[in-house]
Amino acid sequence: MGQMIKVGMADLKVCKEPDSLTTIGLGSCVGIALYDPVTKVTGLAHIMLPDSKAIRNNSNIAKFADTGIEELVKQMVKAGASKTRLVAKIAGGAKMFALSGSAASAINIGEQNAAASKKKLKELGIRLIAEDCGLNYGRTVELYSETGKYLIKAVGKPVKEI
Amino acid sequence: MNLDQLNDMYIDVLREIGNIGTGNATTAISNMLNLKMDMGVPKVELMPVEKLGEAIGSEEQIVVGIMLGVEADIDGSMMFIMDMKSAHKMVNLLMMRDPDDEKEFDEMDLSALREVGNIIAGSYLSAISTLTNLVISPTVPSVSIDMAAAILSVPAVQFGLMSDRALMIKTAIGGDGSIDGYFILMPDEESFAKILTSLGISI
């Protein structure tokens, strides 16, 4: 067993076998797991918002689905992954609170995050092979480099593997 | 006005806002539950949005979050966060059940928690409203029981839309080890300026 490396909010990390990656408590954020099954180069991004172009303050590229995924792919290729072999799994994008009024638009961001992530993956020609998105609960995820296994843990629910 | 200009005087004013709001809200809960409650000194924190998930301790700790939007003259959101034990105690007191009962919350219990949210947000915000002469109205509360990081990611995203940092006025409450929680008021940048101006502080 390697090390379990933590990915923070609006953060991304790349690792190689035998290490693994985790991010805690994805709410409306999305955890994008990319994996090269041959070199076992593994990457995880924890994005908060769908679109870097819609925001004035976009200095942290790991915060957004579009720039975050791009950067993750770049770092993985640098670490030895082949872009054409990459496969993706995504989780998160929940709606934690059902609010009304002006706060509501920001609350539906989960759905937008998941949609923007899929769009970017498609644009880059990366195959999305599994997802666990939406609903109303938080998810902690673990991504293993040996197998590309993506574990999803939620409060009061059995551990799910995608 | 932006958050870079946050200085000690502004922080003092915001801390006082937290003091008055929480004082009122704590009294409201205390009366409602007939419990003695204490409150801590409010903390005004400006932190990177990425760190908000850790704002009240362990990211994986399961908490009950009651969240409301704040509208009218100021925009932002407000949250009341309790640990599970405190939430059970509060619901049991309201429902007149055995205080140590820890059965899973049903729809009625969640509704009681939302009502608690209504009462405390109402009293917190009306105190600030009186002080500043600003119209501040809360939206209908929503309850979520989950990991602290997932709950706090919601305001983090709201702040993330505008800035890389989040401003929060956080106050801990507790009493005889009964109900422990946090009040967190998170005004957006413009509202933060409005609060200060309304109190006659030139910015």
Q: Which domains, from first to last, does chain A contain? A: 4-161 (3.30.1330.200)
Sign of CA dihedral A27, B167, A100, B20: positive
State whether residue A115 sits within 8 Å of chain B by CB: no
Q: For residue B69, give how far its alpha carbon lies from the nearest alpha carbon of chain A (Å).
A: 5
A123 residue type, one letter: E
Segment B158-168 mean pLDDT: 78
Q: In the predicted model, what is the mean pLDDT of chain A?
A: 91
DSSP reduced 3-state for B194: helix
As annotated, the active-site residues of A are 29
Residue B93 lies in a domain: yes
Instruction: Collect all residues with Cβ–Cβ distance below 8 Å to B8 and sequence separation of at least 6.
Output: none
Q: Give yes or no for residue A132 having a pLDDT over 60.
A: yes
Q: Name the B residues in 19-38 with CB < 8 Å from any A CB.
A: none
Report the percent of chain B where pLDDT is more than 90: 11
Segment B101-127 mean pLDDT: 88
**Number of structural domains chain B divides into:** 1
Global confidence as pTM: 0.87
> What is the Cα–Cα distance from B173 to B182, expressed in whole angstroms?
6
Of all residues in chain A, the one with the smallest CA distance to B145 is A137
Bridge partners for B39 per DSSP: B173
State whether residue A59 sits within 8 Å of chain B by CB: yes
Of all residues in chain B, the one with the smallest CA distance to A103 is B69
Residue B70 lies in a domain: yes
The pLDDT, as a whole number, for residue A149 is 95
Comparing B175 with B86, the larger pLDDT belongs to B86
A97, A99, A135: best mutation site toward chain B, by most B Cβ within 10 Å? A97
Are the Cβ atoms of B153 and A137 closer than 8 angstroms?
no
Residue B188 lies in a domain: yes
The pLDDT, as a whole number, for residue B173 is 79
Q: Give yes or no for residue A103 having a pLDDT over 60.
A: no
Summarised one tens digit per residue, pLDDT across range B130-146 is 988 999 988 888 999 99
DSSP letters, A98-141, are ---GGGHHHHTHHHHHHHHHHHHHHHTT-EEEEEEE-SS--EEE
Ranking A16-25, A50-59, B19-28 by mean pLDDT, the lowest is A50-59
Comparing B73 with B53, the larger pLDDT belongs to B73
R_g of chain B, CA atoms, integer Å: 16
The pLDDT, as a whole number, for residue A105 is 58
- Is the Cβ–Cβ distance between A15 and B138 less than 8 Å? no
Place A120 in a pLDDT band, splitting at 50, 70 and 90: very high
Comparing B100 with A146, the larger pLDDT belongs to A146
As given in the structure block, the two tokens for residue B13 are 């004013």
Segment A41-70 mean pLDDT: 88
Place A129 in a pLDDT band, splitting at 50, 70 and 90: very high
Residue B203 lies in a domain: no
- Is the Cβ–Cβ distance between B188 and B71 less than 8 Å? no
Comparing B99 with A82, the larger pLDDT belongs to A82
Class of residue A29 by CB neighbours under 10 A (exposed 0-12, middle 13-18, buried 19+): buried
Can you give the CATH number for the domain in which B68 is found?
A: 3.40.1550.10
The pLDDT, as a whole number, for residue A109 is 87
> What is the Cα–Cα distance from A4 to A22, expressed in whole angstroms?
7
Domain that holds residue B8: 3-198
Are the Cβ atoms of A100 and B69 closer than 8 angstroms?
yes
Q: Give yes or no for residue A155 having a pLDDT over 70.
A: yes
Q: Where are the beta strands (DSSP E) in chain A?
A: 4-6, 11-15, 20-26, 30-35, 42-47, 87-92, 127-133, 139-144, 150-153, 160-161
The pLDDT, as a whole number, for residue B32 is 83
